[in-house]
Structure 1
Amino acid sequence: MYTGFPHDRRFMLYSISKDKNMHIAEFTEMCLFTTAFVDGSSSPSSPKKFTVTYTKDHAFANPDQKITDATPLEIDLAPDTHGLDEFQITMHSSPTVSYDMGATYNEWFSARFGYQVKLLYIGENRRKVLGNMPPSVSGRQRDEQSQGTGATAGAGGSSWLSSITSTTSSVVGSLLGSAKQYEGEDAGLTFADVAPYLVISTRSWENAQQRLPAGESMDISKFRPNIIVEGAAGEFDEDFWGELQIGSQGAKIVLTQNCARCNSLNVDYSTGKVGESEAGKILKKLNSDRRVDPGAKWSPVFGRYGFLAKVPEGKTAAEIKVGDEVKVVRRNTARTSFGMLLSHCSIS
């Protein structure tokens, strides 16, 4: 639960020729694969497997190479890692050990991509949360800003240098330890980018949609959220959300930093390539007024990264489900400033 919803982002594809993990911003054809849970016979609410389906009849990189077997690939949601080869992986500067799922899976994907790839599973391994993304670091930074000891992120007149200084002091303070405990549990990462949860609002999505001409649409799944909130007070109101309470059981999500967007928004899901219509230019359209984070000043902001608040000892985690009421229980007075570029700093 602290590393995200069950089964969320536990698998990854890896390009052998480019020697790197695959993200849709660079490997745009990844969108041609769709997934679905397979209901377990004994407990339909707890699936044991999922399927992957390829939506084309030919290998993406070799259109003349036809796919004769359109059968979806079935994969265990929690495969036995005993006997699987370990594979070192680094994602967004955060390394971990993963497991190579083996020839059957690798060959199925490779035949459809048209080049050699591996399917990796993270198992019980985790990646470190870096920079000022962890709740403890962002919390210290927020306190420093409110006390006037650091730059106010996003405030008029604050400089890039002052933002870096504030972030640095927060990171150093976290590494050295602090008596104050902050909400939000950092239990590491699976293959999610930089935090377990990503929250967006439908009001903001509607704003993106309105930037396109009639007849074109912006698929909300392109923003890759795992929590979508309806009924926000306004467009991009989530820029200032600090903490959410979800559902009658009071689950809390602590939002620490903004999500800076990339070329993945421009991908046409029907072709696996960057779109040729206005929808294929949505990143540029958002750049016109959404470059609002001095810590990611070349990218538009859309959504907030978050962490589940710690569950009190003796209690079980609160359930979150579609349709739950969402309350903003803490708002930030200014936008936060992304500080992932400090992920390599060290104390000696």
Structure 2
Amino acid sequence: MAVLLTGGAGYIGSHMAWALAAAGHEVVIIDRLSTGFRDAVAPFARFYAADIADANMLRQIFRENAIEAVLHFAGSAVVPDSLRDPLGYYRNNTLASQTLIEETVKAGIRHFIFSSTAAVYGNPPTDAPVTEACETRPENPYGRSKLMTEAILADTARATPGFRYAALRYFNVAGADRLGRAGQSTRNATHLIKVACEAALGLRNEIRIFGQDFPTPDGTGVRDYIHVDDLTMAHLKALDYLRAGGESLPVNCGYGRGASVLEVLRAVETVAGVSLPVVFDARRPGDAASVIADPARAASLLGWQPQHPGLEAIVETALAWERRLMAERLQAAGRRFADGASASGRYCIIP
């Protein structure tokens, strides 16, 4: 069937396009390319360079394509940025999503999968694995903007016969496509594994660790890391679930076990064969000691079973992608000096 994939030029969306195609679906992508990259768009996809907040463009897409489901990845996802620009996050994550949901319903499309986040849980009061029944109390505009969209979806589903959704709450997504077709190319990334891989290749002078006095085995924060390929498979399972008549629901996407910051860095050092430049700093306000998913619902209701668990498996693919980016940056720099043109696109030189 034909699927509309929003944010298909971004990190997770670009992986999702390949997974959808492998499952036999036709892929239509809309992305305004504010943080995504044109060359990350899968070559087989029909692409619209536009904003999901543009209702007229959405209507055109629905007229021109026999869309049967929407997978919504478009949005802003950097917590510190959301603190600096809350209105921008509510506009881009919540208001734009409301427009997308409204036009989806008007077009008679009944299946909707939303890229949500574990940030909706905020700082869990205990170190126990987080279930979907845990209280949602986001502590920043990013998490609140996502939770507001979940509320819009829930209210819409109650008011619209036949409309059903799945809100997939991501924990810490990392890694890259094992075939090298997609990876995380975000400029000035803040994700730990990507930062560590960049440092391993000499692209960062230091890795700053915030807090070494948490009540964890080594004093650093513990998080649940999930390989991006397992995450895309969870979306395919959610799509099958909705098509089979499953009820609307939120679903945690994680492995149910965590790794500390120092464990992540040791894994990168092992895979890369280098020592990383680490600097310790004070805790940041609001950082939780441990946030780990309880993925039982994904297993029982969606039938999802991860295929790439293990920190080193994640790091291997992430590092391979960074090496590819580094090689292409060097090629772009060579062309710049050869013809006087500036390197552009995702392969920018990192100072």
Q: How would you bin the TM-score normalised by the shorter chain? A: under 0.3
Instruction: Name the TM-score, length of structure 2 as normaliser.
Output: 0.26
Q: Which has the larger radius of gyration?
A: 1
Higher helix content, 1 or 2? 2
